[in-house]
Structure formats: C-alpha cells, structure tokens
Copies of this chain bind each other. A is one copy, B any other.
C-alpha cells in the first residue's frame, strides 16, 4: 500500500520535444504485458548518466557506460523489464550487445548509439531473441505522449507507475522536464533495480550535462533507501534534446542555469520519493534530517545508520516511540569522536532527547502522536558543526518480509 502516492495523470506529463517513446509485449518473463520500452532521441541529443556502485554491475550497465564513454551520440534507449541480465558473465554481455545491434539496424545508427537497461530476475539468461523480435512493434508504437505508458512498462513489482513533469521559462522559451522511475526496493532482488529516466529539451552542452545529472542524483536518488541493498542495475540518465531554442546553458549556479537545475532536481526528487512511498511493504514515509555535523558526509552517515536500522524501521511500523533505537543507531554510525552528551533528537516538533538523555519535558504520548502519522520527520542535531543532510526512507513491515520471502514462488 503506497504512502500518499497516486498513479500519474497522463495529461499532466508534458511531452519533451525530440523524444518519442514506444512500448511492446516481448514476453521477456510474462506473456501479455508491455515489458519492452524504446526511447528514440532526436539527432543532436546529449545524454549523461550515473550508475550503481555495485561491483557486480549488470551487463547492460557495463555496456551503457561504455557507449556513453564513446564518441557515439546516443539515439535510443532500450529498456526491458522481467530480466536484469546481471550475474550472467560474458554471455550476458553478448546478449545485451545483440539487442543494441538489432535496434541500431532498425534505426540506421551504430550499436554504440543505443543505451541498454534491464531490470528483473538476476542470474538468468536474457531472452535476447524475444526482445529483438519485439523491437519493430515498440518502434511502431513510438509517440511523444507515451510517458505514462512507459512508466508502467518499466515496472517490476512496483505497485504504481511513477512519473513527474515540470515546465519552466528560460530565455522566453518554454522548457520541459519529464521523467519516469521504478524501484520498490533499493534493489528489487530478483526484480532488481532502481531506474530513473529524465528528459528535457533544454539546450545544455554534453560536458555540463554530466555535472547536472550527478548533482540531481545526489539530491534525489542518492538520498533514498528502502533496505540498504544496492542493486546491480541502478541507473539514472538525463537526456537533453537541445531543441528548446534558448541560448545554451553554460553553468548551473545562477540565473537560467539555476532555474533548470532546480527543475531537474525537483523532478528527480519526486521520482525518488515515489520509490520510497512505494517501498516494499511501506506504510510510512520517513524523512531523516541530521543537523550540526562537521560536514555533509558525516551527516549522511548518521542519517543512513538510522534509515537502515531494522530496529528503527520496525518501531516506525509499530508506531512505537521506541526512540532509544534511534540514539543507538546514531551511536554506531561510525563517528569515532562523537560525544553523546551534545545530541538532541526531535520527532517532528517533539523534543525527545536533550544532551543525549531523555528530555525532561518529553511525554510518551507526544511521541506516540507523531509515530502514528503516515509522514514523519526524525531530526538529530549533533551540535558539532554547520553541516546538514537529509535522506528519505520507509518503515519495515510484515509485508516487506512477505514480499521478499514469497516473491519468486
């Protein structure tokens, strides 16, 4: 049951000039569902991406990195659900390459101009033949307004499709940013993977685009966690079709550059938070904010210790203000010189712990009131510096175990 998340309204997803999307039923794992998605990108488009840090990264991730690192200008994105093509060795690379070659032949471009993505079961052989057979139907389906359909076609065990869209004015021109994502768990084990695709018609030099996608990931997908597992296939790509007709963006710090940056971050953040809201078994959406750290890295370290703790997460599920668990997680986050006597803990507006001990004015019923909400902010003040950081997570419920224990059977 997703937390305050609705299926996207197709009419509110603006088309991005230069991008067309088509889907088809290829029977990758199940019959009669759209499991194959192709994005075609207008000539002159630039693409940048960030990928999983998992050393067991999947074949399509390896290939996608190589294609983006080559001189070839990307012309298409090819996504299948149902099979992650991970843990598949050389054979997996060969099969991913074969799908890129087939799409390139249909489009009249080189295979390096196709970026492949896969999500689904790990350690099973990719049915490249069925994917290749489905490509003509996907191309025939291509249209600018198929974002909602694609959001559904890339789902694995997500319970709802995830999409977001914005428009901003840059140099008197309307610029569109639209994206889709899928997730469910940070790794969706069998059905692995967080994927995010965002496209804009903004005019941005390819070199700058990489800085923008990295910044947007740091402010969105890199701040969420369901269960701490990192998928073999996690990928987030940003396409800029360069068709909006404004003067090229040359930096992201001020003016039009900052405007575009903020809009891309907003779309990426909405897509990332939607993944948490639809987290496996999630019943609550938790914001963990750490203030008063020496630097952002240590704030993030503490935030993730809290966000990953199964004990903290089960307490949220139970609406139990068992807040010693949060202090304990702060304590083992790995900050060697942490002084427990400077630490404050807040649950929304309730001041729970002062100087590392129970706040004298704290009443259990106040904690209880906040814990019953479906959206909760945990704030810890370390009082040792000026830095802050925020991450988003969900609770750990019976259903998390049920989903992950039962999934394959």
Contact with B along A197-225 (1 / 0, CB 8 A): 00000000000000000000000000000
Q: A353 to B397, alpha carbons, bound, how many Å?
A: 32
Given contacts A55-B336, A56-B356, 15 further A-B contacts (CB under 8 A): A52-B332, A55-B335, A55-B340, A56-B330, A56-B332, A56-B338, A57-B340, A87-B357, A187-B325, A230-B328, A310-B396, A310-B400, A310-B404, A320-B408, A398-B398
Q: A327 to B123, alpha carbons, bound, how many Å?
A: 9
**Cβ of A72 under 8 Å from chain B:** no
| Nearest residue, chain B, Cβ from A86 | B324
Q: Report whether B189 and A405 are in contact in the complex, using a CB–CB cutoff of 8 Å.
A: no
Q: Report whether B56 and A322 are in contact in the complex, using a CB–CB cutoff of 8 Å.
A: no
Comparing A105-113, A146-154, A156-164, A311-319, the segment that makes contact with chain B is A311-319
Q: A381 to B356, alpha carbons, bound, how many Å?
A: 43
A302 CB, nearest partner CB in chain B, Å: 10
Comparing A19-27, A36-44, A88-96, A256-264, the segment that makes contact with chain B is A88-96
Q: A408 to B322, alpha carbons, bound, how many Å?
A: 8
Q: How many interface residues does chain A have, given as a range?
A: 35 or more
**Cβ of A131 under 8 Å from chain B:** no
A-B contact pairs, 29 of them (CB 8 A): A54-B328, A55-B335, A55-B340, A56-B327, A56-B332, A57-B340, A86-B328, A87-B327, A89-B341, A90-B357, A91-B357, A92-B357, A122-B322, A122-B327, A123-B357, A187-B325, A189-B315, A190-B324, A192-B324, A229-B311, A229-B332, A232-B324, A315-B405, A320-B405, A322-B407, A396-B401, A397-B405, A398-B401, A398-B402
